[in-house]
Amino acid sequence: VPITMNSEFKFDADSKWKFHKEWLEFDEVLGEGEFGKVVKAFDIQTEKKKAVAVKMLKTGANSSELIALLSEFQLLQDVSHPNVIKLIGASTDGDCPFLVLEYAKYGSLRSYLRLSRKLDTCEVDPEVGVEAVTVKDILSFAWQICKGMGYLTEIKLVHRDLAARNILLAEGKICKISDFGLTRDIYEDSAYLKRSRERVPVKWMAPESLADHVYTTKSDVWSFGILCWELITLGASPYPGIPPQNLYHLLKNGYRMERPENCSETVFSILRKCWADDPNGRPSFKYLTIQFESLMTFDL
Ligand code: ADE
């Protein structure tokens, strides 16, 4: 009996996420990279055919891309927080492995913010559902991301690529931390610079990550500061005009981005704390959550 129970238990752990492609009705492509893509689909097993996002490899992907997909599967099994993208199911044994993820109807936060800029000029299709982004929205986005990151810190997970392009916006303007690693075209995206073998998002990286490949929750806090700058500028690209090759030297000499015009001194002082040269001098996500929470509830 113990053996049977044990094997049933193992089988259960695997079958918990088991998803068949016959349960999916595929729709449009949401994102595509060199080796992976995300496709919108409908889960026909749910009553209202709930929309989901299916992450899969493209033909030509090699074993390291498969490993990346399987690692993401492993990692997502243990995360459960309203501000982190959720795993719904997976098929990892067939010849077309895929992950089924919760669908975020507004797509990436960066694209949402950039689209919101065009609202006043009537260039946006009302169908897209983008609304004007207010100061309260921006503070709420920062606060939600802090909460998600606080959770990842608790479960000892370092993100390494925190940026507006990796935050999804779901129904009700809920931020979901995600990682497109595989599916974003890091070869086309100018945010990633080739340095030795890897392509790295230089302008989001803390000095110690640039110098020594050291990634910690404190280097995530640095990236969070850059992400806040992206929110405030409605999706601008950080360090405009500065070649990424020169950045490390500038940062080591104390250079930091200046305060955007529409950013209060209070908020900017928080960003500056995230960009402390000493990782231990940077605030925790817990502290940041409290700061944004109090800013959010002020009458603005
Ligand atoms: N693009 C990539 N992942 C997505 C998701 N989960 N929802 C919507 N768009 C996406």
Distance 103 CA to ligand 1 centre (A): 6
Angle, CA of 11, 17 and 22, to the nearest 5°: 110
Distance 252 CA to ligand 1 centre (A): 36
Give buried/exposed letters for 161-196 (b at 16+ CB in 10 A, else e).
Answer: bbbbbbbbbbeeeebbbbbbbbbbebeeeebbbeee
Q: Which amino acids are annotated catalytic?
A: 161
Mutate to test the pocket of ligand 1, among 76, 84, 108 (most ligand atoms within 8 A of CB): 108
Mutate to test the pocket of ligand 1, among 100, 103, 171, 177 (most ligand atoms within 8 A of CB): 103
Cα(14)–Cα(271) distance, integer angstroms: 43
pLDDT per residue as tens digits for the range 16-70: 999 999 999 999 999 987 788 999 999 999 999 999 999 999 888 888 888 889 8
Q: Judge contact between 110 and 165, C-beta under 8 A.
A: yes
Of all protein residues, the one whose alpha carbon is nearest to atom 8 of ligand 1 is: 104
Q: Judge contact between 224 and 274, C-beta under 8 A.
A: yes
Q: Judge contact between 170 and 106, C-beta under 8 A.
A: yes
The ipTM of this complex is 0.95
Q: Which atom of ligand 1 is nearest to the CA of 107?
A: 9
Helix (H) or strand (E) holding 2, with range, is helix 2-15
pTM of the model: 0.91
pLDDT per residue as tens digits for the range 235-249: 999 999 999 999 999
Residues with CB under 6 A from ligand 1: 30-31, 38, 53, 85, 101, 103-104, 107, 168
pLDDT per residue as tens digits for the range 204-219: 999 999 999 889 999 9
In 3-state terms the chain splits into helix, strand, coil percentages (rounded to 5) of 45, 15, 40
Of 196 and 139, which is predicted with more confidence? 139
Distance 43 CA to ligand 1 centre (A): 15
Mutate to test the pocket of ligand 1, among 168, 175, 182, 189 (most ligand atoms within 8 A of CB): 168
Distance 145 CA to ligand 1 centre (A): 17
CB atoms within 10 A of CB 235: 20
**Mean of the per-residue pLDDT values for the chain?**
90
Task: Report the pLDDT value the prediction gives residue 122, as an integer from 0 to 100.
Answer: 64
Of all protein residues, the one whose alpha carbon is nearest to atom 6 of ligand 1 is: 103
Report whether pLDDT(83) > 80.
yes
